[in-house]
Structure 1
Amino acid sequence: MARRVMPLLGRWPSRVFSVELDGAPCYFSIQEKHRGEEAPRLFAKVRERDRCFSLLVCAGDAIRRAKFYAELKETLLRDLPPGCDVSPMSSFLPNVRDSLIKGFFLKDSSDSPSKSEGLLRDLIRHDPVLVCSYLRGEDGQLWTQHLWSHADGQTMDMSKEYYVVPSEAPEYHPSTLNIINSDVFYSFEEAYEVLKKCGDIIPEATSVMELLPSRAPARRKPDFPVIVVEGLDATGKTTLTESLRDTLGAALLRSPPQCLSPLRARFDQEPPLIRRAFYALGNYITAEQVGQEASKTPVIVDRFWHSTAAYAIATAVSGPMCNLPAEGSEVYRWPSDLLQPSLVVLLTLDPEERKRRLRDRGQGKTEEEQELDHNQLFRLKVEEAYRRINGPACVTVDASPSADQVLQQVQLLIRGKCHL
């Protein structure tokens, strides 16, 4: 255990901690001396009998960390006694990329505190998790943080204690620190390395790698225009792309590509790191297909990198719209090794009309598409992420008129931009 956490402990007092309460983060930090600060909001409603703990996943390997985080959540929800509240939390160094560590905050109001503590002791003995307990001072106001260590087969509190104090919200939402090549991939090699390392634990990863090009397809300008159509489900993408195929005599491709369809359900069960790498590589398979077709005819693509990135960013960044990375952030940049389309059309639709169309279709939806249906904030974040992606940026088209009118409007865009 000590070997795994020593790199963290070296800068431990500089870290900020964030706990999700009712969909909003509550921040606190720690310091060696108390200077009269009040206890953080997180502890204001903790009763005298309640016990508080934090669990941070500290495995060095990103894939193991992602897998264990998902497993830890299941373990806590399954094995903790009734009366325990588990909230997502994280620890990070402000403005330091890749410094985010994810975990959970536990408030134990149960009648079986020994059962909870026993579970935590087992975790620290065998798993890559750093446990801290939080103790109320004698005056009932001050709180201190105590790190647990593991030595000689016994779990014990480290003698070092820190005072817990409020912390202001950081300049950047903490989840944005780890988006690059974790939630969104910006090169073939980064996504490929993730799936390559999954071969031993996910047999289907080998099947994906057999479908991949040996490297990212050469990013050269296609002979014929490549038009990508983006948008949320039920905005009319299928109707429009098929109409464009017919009117332009174009090839029609989709991302993720058809060859990955049998594997999607399997990778949708995986943690975000692995799932996002799978979909990122799907874009490179599509890019290879686009390059082949665009040497002889125009190409229409139903979704591409914009979708992969927009959904990932909106999912990774919790809370309100203002938590999204600012316009111009590097998270919105197009991958330098991915084929660049000539035009990207983003279809938008009134939310109620989109829901009506979804009901009429009655088709099964992914977890993220279900989230769009009942979470207006998530939908707005996806649409805003779409708009902020550049290189190329999306051209927004209102999809509420008739299919023929939408087709005519997009054809005008294509004539102006692509000279078709």
Structure 2
Amino acid sequence: MPPIIVIEGPKLKGMESVCSRLSSSLGATYLHSVPVCIRHLKKVFDSQPQLIRGAFYAISNYILGQELFTHPQTLPVLVDRYWNSTVAHGIVNEVGDGIGNLPPKNHTIYDWPVDLPQPTTVVLVSCRKKLREMKKNGPKRGKIAYENMIFETFRRMRNQSWIEVDCTKQGCTDTTDVVSHIIDRLQDKNIVSVDSQASLCPSMILHPKVPHDTLPVEMPSTSNHQLKFDAMSNLAFKSCLCPSVPS
């Protein structure tokens, strides 16, 4: 069975570019945790209380799970967030501040649901520099504690292979660096095998935000499309994931 790779991490600009480039490099189908068929309801439920909002995302995960069950058995899948996020945010919002308030590591709440397709691996992307800068902003100081609790909850989830990528620690300066490092880690674990010299799906040059497997492969006559996409994605990455890098 082809690998199911889930990307998790804070909601920062630049992550979508990382997911898009990574899926094209792996030749993978790119799926979002909220499927297209109910994505128009996302804004409605995001404004609801946590219990109702969590129920919406739980249902979204099971619809996504059905898509994974029916997915062709020859193509890898990259998922932008999955059950991990739903459970982590639900737990943290319920217990309040403090890692000590989390359920113990051996609690069954961290078990993966038996009726939901399980990922081959989960890649947790973080940026220490971004979190350190959040400490300087009074109104956002509580957010760093929240993010730390989310990350700890991710790490406690069992029956999964984890890969942690710290953009600051690894010296990543743009989306290409992040994608390359993730691919290296995936190859180290024998999850994927990628030819780095021929890894970019041509259709991503034309339509970087559309799942590449639904697009015709047609190279433009000029490289301006690629240059523009590179510049935009790297700018978003530098400003949000690696704020210390000048643009």
Deviation at 1:299, TM superposition (A): 0.8
The equivalent residue for 1:124 is none
Q: Which has the higher strand share?
A: 1
Deviation at 1:235, TM superposition (A): 7.0
Q: Taking structure 1 as reference, are residues 309 and 352 closer, same or farther at Cα in structure 2, changes over 3 Å only? A: same
- In the superposition, the TM-score normalised over structure 1's length comes to 0.41
What does 1:1-400 align with in structure 2 at a 5 Å threshold?
223-234=1-12, 236-350=14-128, 352=130, 374-400=142-168
Q: Taking structure 1 as reference, are residues 232 and 386 closer, same or farther at Cα in structure 2, changes over 3 Å only? A: same
Q: Taking structure 1 as reference, are residues 338 and 305 closer, same or farther at Cα in structure 2, changes over 3 Å only? A: same
Q: Is residue 410 from structure 1 mapped to residue 182 from structure 2 by the alignment?
A: yes
Q: Which amino acid aligns with 1:292?
A: T
Following the alignment from structure 2 to structure 1, what is the Cα–Cα distance between the partners of residues 192 and 163?
16
Aligned partner of residue 283 in structure 1, secondary structure: helix
Q: Deviation string for 1:255-311 (max 9, x for gaps)? A: 022222211222233333322121101011111222333423111111001111111
8 Å Cα contact 2:120/2:161 also seen in 1 = no
When the two chains are superposed, the root-mean-square deviation of aligned CA atoms in Å is: 2.3
Following the alignment from structure 1 to structure 2, what is the Cα–Cα distance between the partners of residues 413 and 393?
12
Following the alignment from structure 1 to structure 2, what is the Cα–Cα distance between the partners of residues 397 and 283?
24
Deviation at 1:230, TM superposition (A): 0.5
Following the alignment from structure 2 to structure 1, what is the Cα–Cα distance between the partners of residues 108 and 14?
30
Q: Which has the higher helix share?
A: 2
Q: Taking structure 1 as reference, are residues 373 and 312 closer, same or farther at Cα in structure 2, changes over 3 Å only? A: farther
Q: Taking structure 1 as reference, are residues 313 and 353 closer, same or farther at Cα in structure 2, changes over 3 Å only? A: closer
Q: Which runs of 5+ in 2 are unaligned?
A: 194-247
Aligned partner of residue 392 in structure 1, secondary structure: coil
Instruction: Kindly name which structure, 1 or 2, has the bigger radius of gyration based on alpha carbons.
Output: 1
Q: Which amino acid aligns with 1:412?
A: D
Q: Which amino acid aligns with 1:227?
A: I
Aligned partner of residue 346 in structure 1, secondary structure: strand
The equivalent residue for 2:228 is none
Deviation at 1:234, TM superposition (A): 1.4
Q: Taking structure 1 as reference, are residues 289 and 354 closer, same or farther at Cα in structure 2, changes over 3 Å only? A: farther
Following the alignment from structure 1 to structure 2, what is the Cα–Cα distance between the partners of residues 268 and 372?
20
- In the superposition, the TM-score normalised over structure 2's length comes to 0.67
Q: Which amino acid aligns with 2:144?
A: Q
Q: Which amino acid aligns with 1:408?
A: S
Q: Deviation string for 1:140-196 (max 9, x for gaps)? A: xxxxxxxxxxxxxxxxxxxxxxxxxxxxxxxxxxxxxxxxxxxxxxxxxxxxxxxxx
8 Å Cα contact 1:226/1:294 also seen in 2 = no
- Does 1 or 2 have the higher relative contact order (CA < 8 Å, sep 6+)? 2
8 Å Cα contact 2:97/2:146 also seen in 1 = no
Q: Taking structure 1 as reference, are residues 270 and 314 closer, same or farther at Cα in structure 2, changes over 3 Å only? A: same
Q: Taking structure 1 as reference, are residues 235 and 326 closer, same or farther at Cα in structure 2, changes over 3 Å only? A: farther
Aligned partner of residue 409 in structure 1, secondary structure: helix
Q: Which runs of 5+ in 1 are unaligned?
A: 1-222, 357-370
